[in-house]
Amino acid sequence: MMSYLILSGLALLGLFSLYWFVLRRNTFHQLNRWGLLFILFFSVLFPFLRLPVGVQDINLAATVIETSRDVIPPALTPGAVVWQSSRPEVSGKWLMTGIYLIGLLLLLVKMLLELFSIGRLIGSGRKVPHSTFTLVDTDTATPPLAFFHWIVINHSSHSPRQYEYILQHEQVHVRQWHTIDILFAELYVVVFWFHPLAWLLRREIKLNLEYLADQAVLGTGADRKTYQYSLLQLSVPDIRIRFTNHFNHSHLKTRINMMNCKRSSRLSFFNYLLFLPITLGLLLTLQPLNAQTASTVEDLNIDPGQSIYMKITGNMSEEEVNKIIKRVEETGVDFRGSKFEFNQKGQLSRASLNVKVANFNASVQSSGDGKSPMKEPVIFYLLREADDKLGVSVGLPSDLSPDHRRIFTKFNGLMIGHFSAD
């Protein structure tokens, strides 16, 4: 979970920086609306996105190897490093997870209570159906607001001119389904409450929706100064519901400045194309962080109980080795610093393997003249059925049980899953 939140937060930082520094002052409010929603959804989905690698795993049998968990391994052979998971019961990870879940729960409860208060407000008002919306006339001292197809107004609190502008403004929110944007933004803050940019993203989504409504009202021929004066003169108690669009929402100065600002040049449209390289850059540069965020073996991106068997031999090509390494890195294993040398025939001649998983950090190096194919295989393994035993070696590890050694003699390449030596 922590890996997911970290990657999502980094994606949010990358894309929202583009919006904040380049796009937010543009008058293309509809484009900004879709851009902000893209930032929201991309950051949510980013940890699950994968660029195609084309790796093929070798599968033997789908049974779990049964071995003793109390065997003391023999002396290790040179060039082999082994680690046994300690699995601490209490750690800082669980404390951080607990704090995060408490914050999420509190905000979720608050969100549900506010939705309930909206329902009560709508239910208590006098409803007047129209073709595209339902007007709710209320005696409650609340700002005018729109929620899905309901428009709530305290009719007696406004002059006829104000009432006309309010109705035009709120109808834009209804026609363009702005409530959905706000609900997505609120849910986003519930999940990413710890990230300051999540709150800023929510604010920008709401503010841009007000820009859209203001722009639509002025587009009907309404006098700009009279409309802005109505915004300033509208006086109601400062009671706001977060899941609705308010006619006199805060940031009035920002809204008025945007209404008075010169329309953006058509050339500014090309700034939105910057989403493409930034998105691709995030996919290419941040996804490898999946290999760096595993703090325990349990954090690896494989199904519970699955083991990893990796065996790289001298007859493999550079393409085959790269596919194997990339596939294992997708599980959360860090191979940074590893080097592979190939001879003129494209055969693997020397290998230096650096492995980091949780508290396990080891490296081995094969021997060779750099011309002939590597004689001994380079091996990495994670054995779930042997108490998360981790190891890396040159040649077949002698500390493994006979069953595990037998598995390594039956294949070259990579296997991830449940396997039997039979």
Nearest C-alpha neighbor of 197 from the set 360, 36, 363: 36
Cα(395)–Cα(154) distance, integer angstroms: 80
Give residue 422's pLDDT band: very low, low, confident or very high (50, 70, 90). low
Give the alpha-carbon dihedral of 122, 229, 255, 131, to 10 degrees: 40
pLDDT of residue 240: 53
**Lowest model confidence (mean pLDDT) among 169-173, 270-274, 315-319:** 315-319
pLDDT of residue 205: 98
3-state secondary structure the chain: CHHHHHHHHHHHHHHHHHHHHHHCCCCCHHHHHHHHHHHHHHHHHHHHCCCCCCCCCCCCCCCCCCCCCCCCCCCCCCCEEEECCCCCCCCHHHHHHHHHHHHHHHHHHHHHHHHHHHHHHHHHCEEEECCCCEEEECCCCCCCEEECCEEEECHHHCCHHHHHHHHHHHHHHHHCCHHHHHHHHHHHHHHCCCCHHHHHHHHHHHHHHHHHHHHHHHHCCCCHHHHHHHHHHCCCCCCCCCCCEECCCCCHHHHHHHHHCCCCCHHHHHHHHHHHHHHHHHHHHCHHHHHCCCCCHHHCCCCCCCEEEEEECCCCCHHHHHHHHHHHHCCCCECCCCEEEECCCCCEEEEEEEEEECCEEEEEECCCCCCCCCCCCEEEEEEHHHCCEEEEEECCCCCCCHHHHHHHHCCCEEEEECCCCC
Cα(52)–Cα(43) distance, integer angstroms: 19
Residues 97-126, buried b or exposed e (16+ Cβ, 10 A)? eeebeeeeeebeeebeeeeeebeebbeebe
Are 300 and 358 in contact, with CB atoms under 8 Å apart? no
Predicted TM-score (pTM) of the model is 0.64
Give residue 86's pLDDT band: very low, low, confident or very high (50, 70, 90). very low
pLDDT at 296 over 60: no
pLDDT in tens, 29-63: 999 999 999 999 999 999 888 655 433 333 333 32
User: Going by DSSP bridges, is the β-strand pair 134-137/150-153 parallel, antiparallel, or unpaired?
Assistant: parallel
User: Going by DSSP bridges, is the β-strand pair 245-246/307-312 parallel, antiparallel, or unpaired?
Assistant: unpaired
Are 309 and 420 in contact, with CB atoms under 8 Å apart? no
Nearest C-alpha neighbor of 9 from the set 33, 44, 48, 51: 44
Give the alpha-carbon dihedral of 39, 43, 48, 53, to 10 degrees: 60
pLDDT in tens, 322-336: 999 999 998 889 999
The ranges assigned to domains in the chain are 80-87+296-417, 91-261
Give residue 71's pLDDT band: very low, low, confident or very high (50, 70, 90). very low
Structure tokens at 350: 């020397």
CA 14 to chain centre: 12
pLDDT in tens, 99-121: 999 999 999 999 999 999 999 99
Structure tokens at 364: 């081995």
Nearest C-alpha neighbor of 35 from the set 200, 170, 201: 201
Are 354 and 363 in contact, with CB atoms under 8 Å apart? yes
pLDDT at 2 over 80: no
Tell me the residue type at 379.
Answer: I
**Lowest model confidence (mean pLDDT) among 157-161, 283-287, 309-313:** 283-287
Give residue 374's pLDDT band: very low, low, confident or very high (50, 70, 90). very high
Average pLDDT over residues 233-258: 67
Average pLDDT over residues 245-268: 83
To the nearest whole percent, how much of the chain has pLDDT over 70? 81
Summary mean pLDDT of the chain: 83
**Lowest model confidence (mean pLDDT) among 152-166, 232-246, 299-313, 350-364:** 232-246
Describe the crossing of helices 2-18 and 275-285 by its angle, rounded to 10 degrees.
Answer: 150
Cα(375)–Cα(394) distance, integer angstroms: 10
pLDDT of residue 420: 64
